Structure 1
Amino acid sequence: MRRSRLLSQEQDDTEVNLTPMIDVVFILLIFFIVTTSFVRESGIEVDPPQAATAQTQSQASILVAISPEGEIWVDREPLALAALGPTVARLQAERPSSSVVIQADKDARSGRLVEVMDRLRQAGVEQMSLAAQP
């Protein structure tokens, strides 16, 4: 009788309680979701020109890409030149401390780059940078 009690107590003590482990997994999941930084992309891959004086910019929240064919991309969407100003103005209203970086391909026409910069200035963009490789 005494032996059966000891065996039953040992069996009760060896059970694994999964509740604390599940709690820890959920806390880790929440931690990784909160600390993840999301990378913003313009939507197309461009080959920027090289510049010896290029500087790294820590935060660029609005990326405007110009392809070699002259296409304009913002937030993974192709845009017409006429729609560029209102789109970027809306994005700046959503993110007030944002800056605009123009990622022009090295084979893109300089005339298209000037048109894009002009539309951005008309939309009220004050801080604008050009992407280049060091």
Structure 2
Amino acid sequence: MRDHAQKQGDEAEIDLTPMLDVVFIMLIFFIVTAVFVKEAGVSVIEPEAHTAVIQRQVSILVAVRPNDEIWINRHKVELAGVRTAIEKLHAENPKGSVAIQADKKSKAGLVMKVYDAVRAAGVEKIAIAAEKI
């Protein structure tokens, strides 16, 4: 009698190990395929433009503040280090583009120097961020 009751108890158990394996594999898949957005790290007041267009696949944001600070990926960078920082980030996602978020009170000359440094880093797709009116 005991053997019969013990066999029925064993048959009633459900092994969840394969289901957990599948769930963890799916979780890893979604983490690996997710697009991680890089942030400049500071907020700027972007100029307004009627012809502003939403850019897709912007993977690197460069912020230029009115006090001549340049921020990339939440780190303050000197103008001489912009090219190196962009090369490193662009190597992680070669299909992505760069958006320069220049404050409307920042100097145009500094923005152009940042643009040149990004172009020298080998990035083909560069956008200047603006608020659409």
- Consecutive unaligned residues of structure 2, counting only runs of 5 or more, are none
Which segments of structure 1 move beyond 6 Å, counting only runs of 4 or more?
none
Could you tell me which of 29, 32, 44 is aligned with 1:31?
Answer: 29
Larger Rg: 1
Alignment length (residue pairs): 132
SS at match of 1:61: strand
- Consecutive unaligned residues of structure 1, counting only runs of 5 or more, are none
Partner of 2:48: 50
Letter in 2 for 1:103: Q
What is the TM-score normalised by the length of structure 2? 0.76
Contact 2:37 2:60 in 1 (8 A): no
What is the TM-score normalised by the length of structure 1? 0.76
Letter in 2 for 1:65: A
- Structure (1 or 2) with the greater strand fraction: 2
Q: Partners in 2 of 1:9 and 1:131 — Cα distance?
A: 69
Partner of 1:70: 68
Residue 49 of structure 1 deviates from its aligned partner by: 1.6
- Over aligned residues, Cα RMSD in angstroms? 2.6
Q: Check 1:99–1:109 CA distance in 2 against 1; reply closer, same or farther (3 A cut).
A: same
Contact 2:98 2:126 in 1 (8 A): yes
Q: Partners in 1 of 2:19 and 2:92 — Cα distance?
A: 40
Q: Percent same amino acid among aligned pairs?
A: 48
